[in-house]
Amino acid sequence: MRDHAARTRVGLTAGPDTVRAGEDPRIHITRSGLRALEFQGRSLRLLPKQPAASVLNGRHASRFRGRGLNFEELREYLPGDDPRTIDWKVTARTGSPHVRVFTEERDRPVLLLVDQRISMFFGTRHNMKSVTAAEAAALIAFRVLDQGDRIGGIVFGDESVGELRPRKSRQALDQFLLALERANHALSADAPTVDPAMPLNQPLASALRIARRNHLVVIISDFDEIDVQTEKMIGTLSRHNDLILCPVTDPISRDIPEGFKLVVSDGNLQAELDTSSRQTDQSLRMFVSERLNKLLSWQRRFGLSVLPLDTGEDTLPQILRLTGHRGSIRKNQR
């Protein structure tokens, strides 16, 4: 990005400290708050072998590839070698059986796409969607680094996309947390209106460029501003990588109170939505259900995983429950 202000906003350049004294952590995150999640993040499991109750296991789970294989050498067949590793072309050319030897990759790159657009600056209970997304990303990042894999991220706001290519270092994780903090603190109720809003396709294009194959890609977003092109890009990503979608929603989106009045604004104009109107209530419910149904259709079509997150409760217990860690949940609830 050429724009210095945009680069600073997503934490890619040095800039003034954006932490606000006395800030409510349910509205804006801080690096210190995210760092406090490190120990909790170690209880997550993101490896291919999942508990039976995990949403990452079973019928609609992604085809977890685990760590890939690197080609090491071509040598003559020895007694005890797996016949499936025989290279038949070389065998035919040389007249003697040869096998291809592979070793397991030492680490696996993980790419986290974290939505910090203005649509995420919303919450009626417990957290803003932007906070839940940042906490989930931090928890996963700590677990990834702890298990010896590379961590990278794409943090995107309304005007900019910050890219951090996967690296296996504490410094890389700290840069990711800084990018999260700065993008999160750029969100406010009086932020200037951006028109048009950044579609999800722009950060997805960055992900396609970085995660060409054998990555674990996790997208944490409310999936606002999606279209036919988004679906194509999701399909391409899932074809060569493991893909987890984490839709972040607010409790009100699935349980709209009767007679509830909501004032919405684009920064210039505002309108009041009154659910005592049957037509308004049905339109809101249809809007919410259509977005979720779209993600579920991607799950069935592309074999990816969907791990839904809710702003109405703490982030860690949700992820533990969805990934089948029942014992860990009971421990954290005491």
Q: What is the DSSP string of 144-157?
A: HHHTT-EEEEEEE-
* Mean pLDDT of the residues in the chain: 79
* Predicted pLDDT at 81: 79
Q: Where are the domains of the chain?
A: 4-60+106-333, 69-104
Q: How far apart are CA 218 and CA 281, in angstroms?
A: 32
Per-residue pLDDT, averaged over 14-23, amounts to 48
Model-level pTM?
0.74
Per-residue pLDDT, averaged over 290-305, amounts to 88
* Predicted pLDDT at 173: 95
Q: How far apart are CA 214 and CA 111, in angstroms?
A: 11
Q: If you count them, how many residues does the chain have?
A: 334
3-state helix, strand, coil split of the chain in percent (to 5) is 40, 20, 40
Q: Are 156 and 203 in contact (CB under 8 A)?
A: yes
Of 22-26, 28-32, 226-230, 271-275, the one with minimum mean pLDDT is: 271-275
Instruction: Please give the share of the chain, as a percent, with pLDDT higher than 70.
Output: 68
Task: State yes or no: pLDDT of 55 exceeds 60.
Answer: no
Which residue is it, tokens 């202000």? 5
C-alpha angle 196-136-134 in degrees, rounded to nearest 5 = 45
* Predicted pLDDT at 312: 93
Assigned CATH topology for domain 4-60+106-333: Rossmann fold (3.40.50)
Query: What would the pLDDT profile of 321-332 be if each residue is shown by its tens digit?
Result: 887 765 544 444
Q: How far apart are CA 179 and CA 269, in angstroms?
A: 30
Other beta carbons within 10 Å of 178? 21
Per-residue pLDDT, averaged over 193-215, amounts to 87
* Predicted pLDDT at 326: 59
Res. 101 pLDDT band, cuts 50 70 90 = confident
Query: Which amino acid is it at 101?
Result: V
C-alpha angle 319-298-109 in degrees, rounded to nearest 5 = 55
Q: How far apart are CA 212 and CA 81, in angstroms?
A: 32
Task: State yes or no: pLDDT of 19 exceeds 80.
Answer: no
Per the model's pLDDT, the better-predicted residue between 19 and 127 turns out to be 127
Res. 52 pLDDT band, cuts 50 70 90 = very low
